[in-house]
Amino acid sequence: MDDATTMAGETAPLPLMLAGISRGFREGAGRLDILNNANLALHPGELVALVAPSGAGKSTLLHIAGLLERPDEGEIYIDGVPCGSMDDAERTRMRRTRLGFVYQFHHLLPEFTALENLMMPQLIRGLDKDEARARARQLLDYMRLGPRADHRPSELSGGEQQRVAIARAVANAPRILLADEPTGNLDPVTSAYVFDALVALVRASGLAALIATHNLDLASQMDRRITLRDRQVVEI
Ligand SMILES: Nc1ncnc2c1ncn2[C@@H]1O[C@H](COP(=O)(O)OP(=O)(O)OP(=O)(O)O)[C@@H](O)[C@H]1O
């Protein structure tokens, strides 16, 4: 397995590795192949942009990497652990502890405050209330949302909602952040602000991030850019 070398010269497992992934869908009498023997490695701390035309398979790739969808073939390694043959309960546990997700729409729980939205995944994971609250406050402060902690999503602006969603995605200190058009629903100025906050959080926490975006300007600010070509993942 391709391992990352740590500062001490030891090898640590990669946060994410996709090996030989194939995925297709039935389409009428035929079949639509989206990924064919695709490979991808994410190294610790790197921010990778996934840029590809609509319908190329960005969401499919993110769903497979995020253990939300199973490939037809291939293996997904998270922190070196093969996840392909895991049952649904094990995959869910892996998602809760090692993966964070951000979508184009925030998907915050409308009846809960920003603080409670950040506490929820931590409580589900088993942290006690005080610990969860302290971490939630710390993350909201980091995202400059401290004064908005007790507001519900409907009382926040679009950019604030998305910053809460990003903070929530890292509440359980995942190893990998997967984001599908995280700023796609925002105006350019807000989008740039939210993106900067996302990058700062990724850098501060040392997690690896794979971010699908149509925004080439944002993509150019990441460490690496990949696309889907001929059903493979390639560098651009
Ligand atoms: N469950 C499914 N059943 C059938 N076809 C599907 C399914 N999921 C995705 N597809 C098809 O697979 C292709 C890739 O879809 P996907 O959502 O991964 O693309 P995308 O690159 O994320 O597109 P966009 O940028 O528009 O969100 C599309 O043609 C889509 O219609």
Using only C-alpha atoms, what is the Rg of the chain?
18
Q: How far is the CA of 129 from the centre of ligand 1 (A)?
A: 39
Q: Decide whether any atom of ligand 1 lies within 6 Å of the 59 Cβ.
A: yes
pLDDT, one tens digit for every residue, the chain (236 residues):
445 554 555 578 999 999 999 999 999 989 999 999 999 999 999 999 999 999 999 999 999 999 999 999 999 999 999 999 999 999 999 999 999 999 988 899 999 999 999 999 999 999 999 999 999 999 999 999 999 999 999 999 999 999 999 999 999 999 999 999 999 888 988 899 889 989 998 888 889 999 999 889 999 999 999 999 999 999 99
Task: Please give the DSSP secondary-structure letter assigned to residue 154.
Answer: G
Q: How far is the CA of 22 from the centre of ligand 1 (A)?
A: 14
In a domain, 23, yes or no: no
Residue closest via CA to ligand 1's atom 27 equals 54
- The residue whose two tokens read 């192949």 is 33
Task: Please give the DSSP secondary-structure letter assigned to residue 51.
Answer: -
- What distance in Å separates the CA atoms of residue 212 and residue 225, rounded to the nearest whole number? 10
Residue 198 structure tokens:
């996302």
- What distance in Å separates the CA atoms of residue 33 and residue 47, rounded to the nearest whole number? 27
Neighbouring residues of 91: CB distance < 8 A, sequence distance ≥ 6? 67, 83
Q: Decide whether any atom of ligand 1 lies within 6 Å of the 50 Cβ.
A: no
Which SS3 state, helix, strand or coil, does residue 91 take? helix
Angle in degrees, CA 163, 167, 173, rounded to 5: 160
In a domain, 7, yes or no: no
Q: How far is the CA of 5 from the centre of ligand 1 (A)?
A: 35
In a domain, 35, yes or no: no
Q: Decide whether any atom of ligand 1 lies within 6 Å of the 172 Cβ.
A: no
Q: Which of 59, 72, 183 to mutate to test the pocket of ligand 1 (most atoms within 8 A of CB)?
A: 59
Q: Decide whether any atom of ligand 1 lies within 6 Å of the 52 Cβ.
A: yes
ipTM of the complex: 0.95
In a domain, 198, yes or no: yes
In a domain, 6, yes or no: no
Report the CATH number that the domain containing residue 175 is assigned in CATH.
Answer: 3.40.50.300
In a domain, 20, yes or no: no
Q: Decide whether any atom of ligand 1 lies within 6 Å of the 82 Cβ.
A: no
Would the pTM of this model clear 0.90, i.e. be above it? yes
In a domain, 1, yes or no: no
| Amino acid present at 65 | A
Q: Which atom of ligand 1 is nearest to the CA of 60?
A: 18
Q: Decide whether any atom of ligand 1 lies within 6 Å of the 105 Cβ.
A: no
Domain count, the chain: 1
What b/e string do you get for 113-146 counting C-beta neighbours within 10 Å, with b at 16 or more? bbbbbbbbbbeeeebeeeebbebbbebbebbebe
- What distance in Å separates the CA atoms of residue 167 and residue 139, rounded to the nearest whole number? 6
In a domain, 22, yes or no: no
Structural domain harbouring 188: 42-72+83-235
